[in-house]
Structure 1
Amino acid sequence: MMTFNEMKLKFENIKVNSNQANEDFYNLLASRAVCHKYYDRPVLSLFPYEIEYYGGKPGKEIKQPYDKTNGYYKCFFDGDGRIIISEGVNGKGVVINRQFLFYSPDIIESYYFTKVGAFKAANYSVLPLKKGLPEKLFNIGPKGQSIWDFIYDEGVLKKIEVNNVTDDDYKKAKDVHFLYGASGLVEIVYDYLNGEKQSIYKNKLKSKK
């Protein structure tokens, strides 16, 4: 397991000022991932969906829904059914981000690129596994470093605790709650320390065939 400093160094090396170096690294990851590509399909519609912010200070309650009509995630799988490439596609059919995932028996590595003209490295994360399930997520991104703790109940993900890390100082940022019904996952809710909540997923989302 890499330390945060080692992760940060690796991430900064990815984001070096040279556009050519960034492009070379992207192409390297793409070639590694494509070697394992087995099939692809859209697995989760990005839109239509609603995001609601609710809570906030008395008299300044926030409720701000978003309703959009197009776009989806297109995921590429390996022969074992694992996602190895995930790309966000907007309503115009343009890829706006791409994520590469690499697996070993006890760890998952993820590299996330956004596309503004060219693909640029945006996030790097490592997920150590325990009995095949993510136990933590160590993330380095443009906003700094964070650790996500995954909490399960009989193998079902119930909550993620997100902590920001600055010079070994841990500060809780939010909880992510996974709410289930008889048919499976019903809703995912961000619960912030200031009392605000954000619903980011509701079960009306359907796979786009």
Structure 2
Amino acid sequence: MGELNYLKKKFERIESNSASFMADYLSEALSQVSRKVITKGPFYNICPYEIERAGFKKGRVLKKLPASIKNTHVYHLDEGERILFVEVYGQSENIVSKEFYKYNDGSIERIHFTSVGKLRNILLSEVEGGLISRDFNWGAFGCSESLYEYSSTQLEKIKVRQKEHSNSEFSEFEVVFEYNGDELVRIVNVFPEGYQEQRFPC
């Protein structure tokens, strides 16, 4: 629980002055941007299959911002092709949320601000041997921790514990990945009482 406590304290510190923190993060990121990639829909999976797990299809690359701006993603990359931050457009060009990426030895931290500049959540991913091993998330309404289980480098299962801040107990479920050879064919959330929710294909 040490990681969640760390995120809780960091969340409270940033939340107390979100505008200033976001401006600092943006200034730092812009100074390192090498190129940007515009896509319709989410395009990069930082955590394994996070796009598919969220019930989305992988987006497509565009040459410029489209007339229909909703759900357009602009990824800002550094010289090493790492994402520095991503902008996600809502109904108009004035509605843009921002997520900043911080890379440390053995971890990736993502700090997400809403389109009105409020802190939404912080996600900390631990990396071992080039693979995401654990996620810790602290948001405005709840928190979670996820443990990734692999067979060699193929992700088989994620064990998730989550709760809303108003609750005292965590609930648990598993995300199960099914393959045909190396091709992902199905993602299912499996809950303790036996209920299953298919997330991919959606």
TM-score, length-scaled by structure 2: 0.70
Identify if the C-alpha distance between structure 1 residues 174 and 87 changes in structure 2 by more than 3 Å, giving closer, same or farther.
Answer: farther
Contact 1:161 1:172 in 2 (8 A): no
- Equivalents in 1 of 2:93, 2:181: separation in Å? 34
| Amino acid paired to 2:8 | K
Q: What CA deviation, in whole Å up to 9, does each residue of 1:21-71 have, x standing for no partner? A: 21001111112222222222235625xx9959xxxxxxxxxxxxxxxxx63
The runs of at least 4 aligned residues of structure 1 exceeding 4 Å deviation read: 49-52, 91-96
Map residues 152-191 of structure 1 onto 2, 5 A cutoff. 152-164=150-162, 171-181=170-180, 184-191=183-190
Query: Within 5 Å, which residues of 2 pair with 1:36-51?
Result: 36-43=32-39, 45=41
Match of 1:34 in 2: 30
Q: How far off its partner does 1:186 sit?
A: 3.9
1:58-69 alignment to 2 at 5 Å? none
The one-letter code matched in structure 1 to 2:134 is K
- Report the Cα offset of residue 201 of structure 1: 4.3
Which gives a bigger RCO, structure 1 or 2 (Cα 8 Å, sep 6+)? 1
Shift of 1:121: 0.4
Take 1:174 and 1:87, find their aligned partners in 2: how far apart are those partners?
30
1:42 and 1:180 map into 2 onto residues whose CA distance is 30
1:1-209 matched pairs, under 5 angstroms: 3-16=3-16, 21-43=17-39, 45=41, 71-90=71-90, 92=92, 95-115=95-115, 118-164=116-162, 171-181=170-180, 184-202=183-201
Q: Which secondary structure state, in structure 1, belongs to the residue aligned with residue 79 of structure 2?
A: coil
* Mapped partners of 1:6, 1:155: distance in 2: 29
Task: Compute the RMSD of aligned alpha carbons.
Answer: 3.3
SS in 1 for 2:114: strand
1:102 counterpart letter in structure 2: K
Conserved? CA contact 1:77–1:83, under 8 Å? yes
Q: Which runs of 5+ in 1 are unaligned?
A: 53-69, 204-209
Unaligned runs of 5+ in 2: 43-51, 57-69
Q: How many angstroms apart in 2 are the aligned matches of 1:187 and 1:93?
A: 35
Whether contact under 8 Å (1:37, 1:84) holds in the other structure is: yes
The answer as to whether partners of 1:161 and 1:174 remain within 8 angstroms in 2 is yes
User: Aligned equivalents of 2:193 and 2:96: distance in 1?
Assistant: 31
User: Partners in 2 of 1:44 and 1:137 — Cα distance?
Assistant: 26
SS at match of 2:118: strand
CA shift, 1:144, in A, is: 2.7
Question: Residues 94 and 41 of structure 1: is their aligned pair in 2 closer, same or farther, counting only changes over 3 Å?
Answer: farther
Bigger fraction of residues in strand:
1
In 2, are the aligned partners of 1:189 and 1:197 still within 8 Å (CA)? yes
The number of aligned residues is: 177
One-letter code of the match for 1:40? K
Give the Cα–Cα distance (whole angstroms) in 1 for the partners of residues 177 and 113 of structure 2: 26
Measured after TM superposition, the shift of residue 159 of structure 1 is 2.1
- Confirm or deny: 8 A CA contact 1:23 1:119 kept in the other structure: yes
